[in-house]
Structure 1
C-alpha cells in the first residue's frame, strides 16, 4: 500500500508537470481535466475550470507523485499545497484510518463513492497534515 505525495497548483499544474517530466526524464503522463468529469447539472463546471488538470501523475525516482490544479477560487498556499494520498484495497483500513485522523481534525470530504473510487475522502489531521484516502477496488 503506497502513500504518495499529491501536489496542488493554482492553474499551473500542466506547466509544472511538463517541467518535472523534463527534469526527471519520465514518460509523458495520462492527464484528466476537470472537463473530463461526468457532468452534474446541480454543479455546472465553470468555463475557467474546464482545461485545468483534475489529476495526473509521474513516477520520479521510483515514487509516484500525483498532481492537480485547484478549482478556480479555491485557496492555494505555497508550502501547504501538499497532501498525502493513501491507496489501499482495504475498505476497513480506509474507514479506520480516516476516522482516527478526523478526531480533533477537519474533514474536507466525507468518505463516499466517487466516479474514480468506491470510497474516497479527505481529512486534515490535528497536526495540520492533509490526507486523501482512496479505495482502489472493492
Structure 2
C-alpha cells in the first residue's frame, strides 16, 4: 500500500503543476483535462470547466504528488485542499481501510468502480482529514 498527497486547486492546477516543476526541477508530467475524458455528447461539464485539470502527477524529491482542480461546483476551502490517497493492489486492503476510515466520517464518493479504478472512493474521516482510495492492480510490484 502507498499513501500519497493529493492537492486540489480552484481552477489553476495547470499553473501550479508548472510552477512546482520549475521549483523542484521535476520532469514533465501528463496533465489530463476534463475535456479529454468526457465526450461532448455525454458531457454535463460546462464549456468553461472542460479546461480544468482532472489529474496530474509529478515526482518531487522522489515522491509522487498528485494534483487536480476541484470538481466543478465544489467549494474551494484553502487549507482543506490537500488529501491523502491510498493506492493499493490488494482489494481487501482497500475495503478494510475504507470501512474503518468512514466510521464517524463523511463519504463524498462511496467505494465504487470508475473508469480509472475497479474501486475508488473519497471521504473525510472523523477528524476532518480527506482521504481517497484507489485499487490499482500491479502498482506496487
Fold match, TM over 0.5? yes
Q: Which residue of 2 aligns with 1:62?
A: 62
Gaps of 5+ in 2: none
Alpha-carbon offset, residue 73 of structure 1 = 2.5
Distance 1:43 1:53 in 2: 15
Is the 1:105–1:123 Cα contact (8 Å) retained in structure 2? yes
Q: Cα RMSD over matched residues? A: 1.6
Residue in structure 1 matched with residue 25 of structure 2 by the alignment: 25
Per the TM alignment, residue 49 of structure 1 is displaced from its structure 2 partner at its CA by: 1.1
Distance 1:42 1:27, change over 3 A: closer
Residues 51/40 of structure 1: CA separation in 2 closer, same or farther (3 Å cut) = closer
Runs of 4+ more than 4 Å apart: 40-43
Unaligned runs of at least 5 residues, structure 1: none
Pairing 1:109–2:109 present = yes
Shift of 1:40: 8.4
* TM-score normalised per structure 1: 0.94
